[in-house]
Structure 1
Amino acid sequence: MCQSNFILLFSFLDPRTTDWFLVGKLGHLVVILTTYVYFCTSAGPKYMKDRKPYDLKRTIQIYNLIQIFVSVYLVNEGMQGGWSNDYSFSCQPVVPGEKGLRMAKAVWLYFICKLVELLDTVFFVLRKKFNQVSYLHVYHHTLMPVCAWIGVTFLPGGHGTLLGVVNSFIHVIMYTYYYLSSLGPEVQKYLWWKRHLTALQMIQFCIIFYHNFQVLFKRCDYPKFLNFLLAVEAAYFLYLFGCFYYNQYMKNQKKNQESKDKKSLNGAVQNGVRQNGVLSNGSTSNGTIPKQEVETIPNEKMKIQ
């Protein structure tokens, strides 16, 4: 069945897009992505080892603005090209001919954007922000161009394009945050919604998972093995982003709260000690703290002067 579905995919090779830039050229895509991974994980860090970080503030600001405008355009094209008109959420085949050409062009532009977004990681490396070049980041940026290439080469339209519309909408918010953050501390103090970006991305993967999983049990003129792959990848991304969200926000928040509680406890103990070394709520005859009171203060050693 898997083999027949794989053959079915190649029957969807779309003649409308075959002559477009980088479409159908798997070798070109492999070279680009291999170079990207090698630079970000090996060559780039080695190159920057003995160099100062590059000042790319202005470049990144312009880059973020371009990403915002292009993402807004992609959302509009995706909606006007089908999803706000006659596209079906439960099952949507590829619309052939001129009628579906607007969506096909949007899919191609989305593919090009996924390649351009590889610069996100390149900027991290050149600025020596190596802690941000994580497995999640590199895997996500490597896989998305592959998914977009499959779409524009074989299926430039139809069911899978909802992924691009939702993802572009998330990118409008995400790159807006990045742009505002690049304006400096006077703006950054108002950006309280960073953690919610990750939450929105997780909601995105839930939508994509359900959208592709539910069609597996229906008769639909769309390759089911592609729906299966998109559902699996959405579930895996949900897991990865969920782990990131927990470690970055929930776990750190718990640690910060424990640290605050410990500081509050230490402050309460210090405030309870007078200059003569006797607790304010009562002293002992020999000037020492009673045993039962010491036991209520874990990991603290107090010495009476």
Structure 2
Amino acid sequence: MLREGVSNILKFYNYVQARTDARIRDYPLMHNPIEMSIILVAYIFFSVYAGPRLMANRKPFSLKIPMIVYNLSMVLLNAYIVLEFMLSGWATTYTWRCDLIDTSMSPQALRMIRVAWLFYFSKYIELLDTAFFVLRKKQNQITFLHVFHHSFMPWTWWWGITLTPVGGMAAFHALVNAVVHVIMYFYYGLSAAGPRFQKYLWWKKYMTAIQLTQFILVSIHISQYYFMEKCDFQVPMWIHLVWIYGVFFFLLFSNFWVQAYIKGKRLPAANDKSKLNGSTSEPITVVANGKHKENGNVPHYTNGKIFMGKVKEI
């Protein structure tokens, strides 16, 4: 039984190796699914268990300067990704309808490969979002939606850019996601800069709306496939998966929108007993992508426990 199981795993591993696009195989973290799976499992373990316990009896770090530098760097990185996606096809040769994958070794096809990998790699950099929350003892900001989104995206993208040649209409959601991240990280950078920038953040309530718009655009674009008379996209399965992805996350963020803005619910602050550990944090406003930022008003206290996406009346 064990031998058969190991044999099946090896067969699947060899199948993945054989199917991997040779143009991207030698990029970092692309050799096999084991490396990225270990990283993401370690991320989840740190986020929901090890990190909170490590910080339980420690004072929170400020990290103001690192956060400003990080967020503004992410703005530049995502802006570059948007530019490269546009120049790789979306602003040059793509029709924004039935765009097939260029499997050649042309300069433009290789450029699409590079930016797709960079987009994928940026998802590992974004794991620092959670690390900042842990080190600042903002555990109530690490929701189920936050952790799931941060781990699900890089895991699925590994399979997407190895088993399928990169590009074509199925890559539209990456372009849109990078645009949204330019806006989001600009907001986060201003928020991290301190209270004097709060007056410039009047648009924070629209962040979730921007995220919902992203999923609507992705779903509408990919839905064209089902109404076209003929579209010979090389791997139709990824069309279906992108559509499911868009609808699934639209429902998740819609639920958050209803809970947070229509029903007036928020993630709860811990009770006053939590003051014993000396950690403080501010009331939060939950924004897009499962991430949450402080609004700089009256302080509350956290005891290092994690609230995995529970929304309760305050």
- Scaled by the length of structure 2, what TM-score is found? 0.74
For residues 226-237 of structure 1, the aligned pairs below 5 Å read 226-237=238-249
Match of 2:54 in 1: 47
Question: Shift of residue 57 of structure 1?
Answer: 1.0
1:209 aligns with 2:219: yes
For residues 216 and 20 of structure 1, the distance between their equivalents in structure 2, rounded to whole angstroms, comes to: 33
For residues 157-196 of structure 1, the aligned pairs below 5 Å read 157-196=167-206
Residue among 102, 123, 142 paired with 1:133: 142
Write the deviation string for residues 112-138 of structure 1: whole angstroms up to 9, x where unpaired.
Answer: 101110111111111111111101111
Question: Shift of residue 11 of structure 1?
Answer: 8.0
For residues 186 and 208 of structure 2, the distance between their equivalents in structure 1, rounded to whole angstroms, comes to: 14
> What amino acid does structure 2 have at the position aligned with 1:17?
I
> Residue 30 of structure 2 contacts residue 158 of structure 2 at CA under 8 Å; is this kept in 1?
yes
Question: Shift of residue 12 of structure 1?
Answer: 6.1
> What amino acid does structure 2 have at the position aligned with 1:221?
F
Alignment gaps of 5+ in structure 1: 1-7, 254-305
Alignment gaps of 5+ in structure 2: 1-14, 266-314
Match of 1:91 in 2: 98
Does the C-alpha gap of structure 1 residues 10 and 236 become closer, same or farther in structure 2, counting only changes over 3 Å? farther
For residues 183 and 163 of structure 1, the distance between their equivalents in structure 2, rounded to whole angstroms, comes to: 30
For residues 74 and 261 of structure 2, the distance between their equivalents in structure 1, rounded to whole angstroms, comes to: 26
Match of 1:242 in 2: 254
> Residue 9 of structure 1 contacts residue 223 of structure 1 at CA under 8 Å; is this kept in 2?
no
Residue among 104, 112, 122 paired with 1:103: 112
For residues 86 and 19 of structure 2, the distance between their equivalents in structure 1, rounded to whole angstroms, comes to: 23
For residues 187 and 261 of structure 2, the distance between their equivalents in structure 1, rounded to whole angstroms, comes to: 17
Secondary structure, aligned partner of 2:23: coil
Larger radius of gyration, structure 1 or 2? 1
> CA RMSD for the aligned pairs?
2.0
- Scaled by the length of structure 1, what TM-score is found? 0.76
1:76 aligns with 2:88: no
Question: Shift of residue 176 of structure 1?
Answer: 0.4
> What amino acid does structure 2 have at the position aligned with 1:136?
L
For residues 2-17 of structure 1, the aligned pairs below 5 Å read 13-17=20-24
Higher RCO (CA 8 Å, separation ≥ 6 residues): 2
> What amino acid does structure 1 have at the position aligned with 2:105?
G
> What amino acid does structure 2 have at the position aligned with 1:144?
M
For residues 10 and 205 of structure 1, the distance between their equivalents in structure 2, rounded to whole angstroms, comes to: 32
Write the deviation string for residues 204-242 of structure 1: whole angstroms up to 9, x where unpaired.
Answer: 001111222331454322311111111112111101111
Q: How many residues align?
A: 247
